[in-house]
Amino acid sequence: MLATVARRLLESAGLAIENENFDDYAIDDLARAEIFPVYPEIAARLGVNGGYLFKRGNYHISNGVGEFLTLPQFLAESYAVYKRARPEQIAHERVDGWLSDAALSSRLVALAKDNLAKGKTPAL
């Protein structure tokens, strides 16, 4: 938690800590922020745990840290956003580069079809 980092920084600087129970009052915005998972295939190469669970940010006063979405839910909501947008609003230089590379574009389409067949993408 950030409170631990702050406490250690204060101690190393020789500054007194006025509130010994800071954790009881602190709100860690990192815990309330969005979380995008590291996909298992990538995580395995990095030697860490992966997953397909996404978390929405929750900066409201509440007892929870946010709402969680499965990969199909996240994709369905993403497609809904894209559907409402004009193409120039979602253009991206890197993606345009991918699309201009015929071999890469073909591979991405094949991967998308494979994921659809496995039920990893929403039905549109």
Residues 77 and 123 in one domain: yes
**Domains: count for the chain:** 3
Q: Is pLDDT of 66 > 80?
A: no
Residue 14 gets which letter from DSSP? T
Q: Which residues contact 77 (CB under 8 A, 6 or more apart)?
A: 69
* Tens digits of residue pLDDT in 68-84: 999 999 999 999 998 99
Q: Please give the Cα distance from 23 to 5 (Å, whole number).
A: 12
Cross-strand pairs, 35: 55
Residues 40 and 82 in one domain: no
For residue 48, the enclosing domain spans 33-69
40-49, 100-109, 112-121, range with the lowest pLDDT? 112-121
Position 83, amino acid = K
Query: Rounded to whole angstroms, what are the CA distances from 15 to 10, 11, 55?
Result: 5, 6, 36
DSSP-based three-state secondary structure for 69: strand
Residues 79 and 109 in one domain: yes
Residue range 89-104: average pLDDT?
A: 89
Residues 28 and 38 in one domain: no
